[in-house]
Amino acid sequence: MDIFKAQNIRKQFGNTIALNEVSVNVPEGSIYGLLGPNGAGKTTLIRIINQILAPDKGELYFYNRKLKSDDIFQIGYLPEERGLYKKMKVGEQALYLAQLKGVSKKEALARLKYWFQKFEIQAWWNKKIEELSKGMQQKIQFIITILHEPALIIFDEPFSGFDPINTKLLKKEVLNLREKGATIIFSTHDMSSVEELCDHITLINKSKTILEGKINDIRNAYKSNTFKIGYKGNPEKLKNLLDGDFELIEHSTKDNTNYAKIKVNRLLRKNELLYLLIPEIQITSFNELLPSMNEIFIKVVEKSQDVTN
């Protein structure tokens, strides 16, 4: 079941179209990547999901029924532009923001106690935010985002500004939240963390959806039948073996081993490659190269740019 669905969302600011017929389906329990270059319309879409903005056109569904204003109690949001009241004390502030998300003061207090113990930050309770380092503030922000135990959590560039230790901790917590049944929408430019965490993605460019689906399907769809072969032997020999259906893209040598990237142009002859090579050279490794999300991102965005131009 989809926890959240947006259908044909359109949003315009004056003459600028921020979202043009954008649809997303976020399956329950997934980690959903919302990708796109700067200014593509991601933040607008996130703000629409959070009901900060209303779409000009289109329908929003939460658990297969229309999104209503109370649903914000079930949504957690860590904005990209985030901050806290500098002069307010940590505990007081967390309580305040939890109450705004509909958690009673007593309940919020109990949950905060749990999280502060878990992160070992009880000593910060009576400190002012401005006394904390940036990393410390981000931990507090993370706790505030999930304190009302939302079913849907939206992280907008969550790792920007985090040091590697905190990034690791946060990733662990994100996976933990998913274990417990939460769905996560994850907006980022960091493609390696998309590969690491996301199950589904939507790629938005220039206010339109240009790619959507399961991350494995997408990577398979974009694979170019390229193989990386490690071998010992004469590179000239290898080159002579390849006919027109095989194309040598790249060749390198490292630690007495040669590496060749070979693209198979006729899919039917995929297995023939090994058959051709084995008698002549000593093969040490053989891998199919899947495109990285980074490559797909650049490729798809550039292609859509060409289309619009």
Partner 1 sequence: MNKITIIVKREYLTRVRKRAFIIMTLIGPILFAAFLIIPAWLATLEDKEEKIIAVIEYSDSNTPVPDSLKQFFDALPDRDNLKFEYIGYTTLDVLKSTLEYSKYFGILHIPHNVINSEVVELYTKKEPSISMEIYITKSLEKYIHNIKLRKLNIPVEVLNSVQTSIKLKTIKLEKGKYEEKDLKNLRRGVGYAAGFLIYFYIFFFGAQVMRGVIEEKTNRIVELIVSSVRPFQLMMGKIIGIGLLGLTQFIAWIILTFVIVTVAQEVLMVKNNIKEKQQFTAESIIDAKPVTQEQLNTDNKVAEFEGILNKIRGIDFIVMISIFIFYFLGGYILYGSLFAAIGAVVDSETDTQQFMLPVTVPLIISIFVMINAFMNPSGKIAVLFSIIPLTSPIVMMARIPFDVPWAELVASMIILVLTFLGTTWFAGKIYKTGILMYGKKVNYREIWKWLTYKT
> Among residues 85 and 286, whose Cβ is nearest to partner 1?
85
Dihedral of alpha carbons 195, 196, 202, 203, sign: negative
C-alpha closest to that of 210 among 15, 42, 26, 62: 42
C-alpha closest to that of 7 among 19, 18, 22, 20: 22
Residue 82 near partner 1 by CB under 8 A: yes
- CB-count exposure of residue 200 (10 Å: 0-12, 13-18, 19+): buried
Q: Which of 99, 224, 225, 294 binds partner 1 (CB under 8 A)?
A: 99
Record the tokens describing residue 196, joined without a space. 């690491």
Residue 96 near partner 1 by CB under 8 A: yes
Residue 13 near partner 1 by CB under 8 A: yes
Segment 143 to 202, residues that bind partner 1, using CB under 8 A: 144
Site stretch for partner 1 (CB under 8 A), options 1-9, 70-78, 107-115, 189-197: 70-78
Report in angstroms how near the CB of residue 18 gets to partner 1 at its nearest. 11
Residue 42 near partner 1 by CB under 8 A: no
Report in angstroms how near the CB of residue 55 gets to partner 1 at its nearest. 9
Extract long-range pairs of 246-252: CB within 8 Å, 24+ residues apart: 246/273, 246/276
- Find where tokens 């589904």 sit: 200
Q: Where are the alpha helices (DSSP H) in 222-309?
A: 235-241, 272-277, 293-308
Residue 289 near partner 1 by CB under 8 A: no
Site stretch for partner 1 (CB under 8 A), options 49-57, 199-207, 227-235, 280-288: 49-57
Look up residue 233 and give its amino acid: G
- CB-count exposure of residue 183 (10 Å: 0-12, 13-18, 19+): buried
Site stretch for partner 1 (CB under 8 A), options 82-90, 201-209, 282-290, 299-307: 82-90
> Among residues 20 and 224, whose Cβ is nearest to partner 1?
20
Tell me the β-bridge partners of 187.
Answer: 34, 156
Site stretch for partner 1 (CB under 8 A), options 77-85, 245-253, 264-272, 295-303: 77-85
Record the tokens describing residue 185, joined without a space. 């929408």
Q: Which of 4, 22, 42, 47 binds partner 1 (CB under 8 A)?
A: 47
Binding site for partner 1 (CB under 8 A): 13-14, 47, 50-54, 56, 72, 75, 77, 79, 81-88, 96-97, 99-101, 141, 144
